Amino acid sequence: MRWSLALAQVVAERMRWSLALAQVVAVLVMWIGGASGVFPINVCPCSNKSLCEPLPATHQFQVEVLVFDNGGMDWKHYDWSKITVIVAMQIIDDELLCHAHEKGVRIVLKEVIQHIHLTNKAERSLWIRQLMKTARIQFLDGVNLEPRNYEKKYKEVTQLIRQATEVFHHEIPGSQVSLMVPWTPTCLHERCQHYAIMSKSCDFLFVKSYGIHLQMWDECFAKANAPYEQTLSGLSAYISLGVDPRKLVMGIPWFGHDYTCKKFFEPGRCEILKSPFKGAPCSSQVASNIPYKLIMEKLSKSLTGRYWDDNYQSPYFVYKEGSSYHEVWYDDPESLSLKATIMKKLKLRGIGAMFGNNLNHSFNPTAAMQTEDMWNSLCPIRRKWRA
């Protein structure tokens, strides 16, 4: 038994505690310990054992509302009447699991697809089985997968997501498998059909309708994180490729971009440093991501107060720190409510927020009102239907 624990500790240190690998270590420790009769496997942490059952396939919603969670205890203050799925970025707390299932909310793992999973079939199969076992041990409802740098691996991503969906649906009936994709299809024309195939190979695609100005081809100026027209055109492009709109969830940001101005001319004219990205001369990567709760703090002390850009349908403001001017572009209840109309206009499956932790869950009356408005901007009501 001591040997088993020592082995698990050494493996864990070398894996640097990434979410996926840390959870694999947890599976190994439980398997080794369970064989010796010391560590119980599949012991329900909830007072009601039924809460450890994954939600069945018949448990469906007219509108899916995903909320990504970065860990901690902020989830205790979420508006659970709006949520259908929690996507856990960190190791899942037992109390969160029990609470989510009590509220009829699915809770799924967030995992990144590595290059080796696309190029080595054996590694791919092993990784998928490990994910599934981790989900079963933690009584979860599925997995959300995100490929990185896969522009030349569309076929391999499609094969992986199909295999993952088959394994999860078979081993955990009612489980949900989703794939994260860019704000607009990024592919050569002859390869674009893979997005339609991907969508049919999983439960839905989560479209990251933010970070839209990673490539700036014109002026190197601060720009909106999720402008309305590009959000609409990006989602429409997927539908034009043959993706069923009921297979699309629109991802929206509860964070903004804080740009340091190389030169500041006037509000809305903040020149930024050149930072080439995928052929474009400039990129929003030079900006810092800033959570909504911090945006509200900076807005109250800003030089300009809230401005509104009619072209981007997004708010922004300017503040000064030392001798540097900063321009912050973000989304608030007004801009998010506009984007929520896209969901209805295109008849999408739902909407998803990055991240629930980015709201201010303190007892400050002003913060409480701001947070409530952000929740309400997602979807006015959550209506459940059963097949």
CA distances from 342 to 251, 330, 356 (A): 12, 18, 21
List the structure tokens of 232.
Answer: 């609409």
For residues 141 and 122, membership in a common domain is answered with: yes
List the structure tokens of 79.
Answer: 């508006």
Q: How far is Cα of residue 248 from the mean position of the Cα atoms in its chain?
A: 13
For residues 54 and 199, membership in a common domain is answered with: yes
Q: Regarding predicted confidence, which is higher, 27 or 97?
A: 97
Give tens-digit pLDDT for 273-327: 998 988 899 999 999 999 999 999 999 999 999 999 999 999 999 999 999 999 9
Tell me what pLDDT residue 130 has: 96
Q: Regarding predicted confidence, which is higher, 95 or 187?
A: 95
For residues 8 and 102, membership in a common domain is answered with: no
For residues 243 and 382, membership in a common domain is answered with: yes
For residues 24 and 89, membership in a common domain is answered with: no
Tell me what pLDDT residue 191 has: 63
For residues 157 and 289, membership in a common domain is answered with: yes
What is the mean predicted confidence (pLDDT) over 31-59?
72
Q: Which of left, alpha, beta for 9 (phi over 0: left; psi -120 to 50: alpha)? A: alpha
Tell me what pLDDT residue 189 has: 53
Tell me what pLDDT residue 253 has: 97
CA distances from 260 to 24, 312, 326 (A): 40, 20, 5
* Overall domain count for the chain: 2
Query: Quick one: pLDDT band at residue 193, thresholds 50, 70, 90?
Result: confident
Query: Quick one: pLDDT band at residue 149, thresholds 50, 70, 90?
Result: confident
Give tens-digit pLDDT for 74-93: 999 999 999 999 999 987 88
Give the residues across from 86 on adjacent strands: 67, 107
Domain encompassing residue 116 = 44-386
pLDDT at 107 over 60: yes
Average pLDDT, the chain: 88
For residues 349 and 382, membership in a common domain is answered with: yes
- Tell me the HSE value of 387 on the side-chain side, using a 13 A CA sphere: 7
Looking at residue 289, what DSSP letter applies? E
CATH of the domain at 51: 3.20.20.80
Prediction pTM value: 0.87
Spell out the alpha helix ranges (H) of the chain: 2-14, 19-36, 94-102, 115-119, 121-137, 154-171, 193-200, 228-240, 292-300, 333-345, 365-378
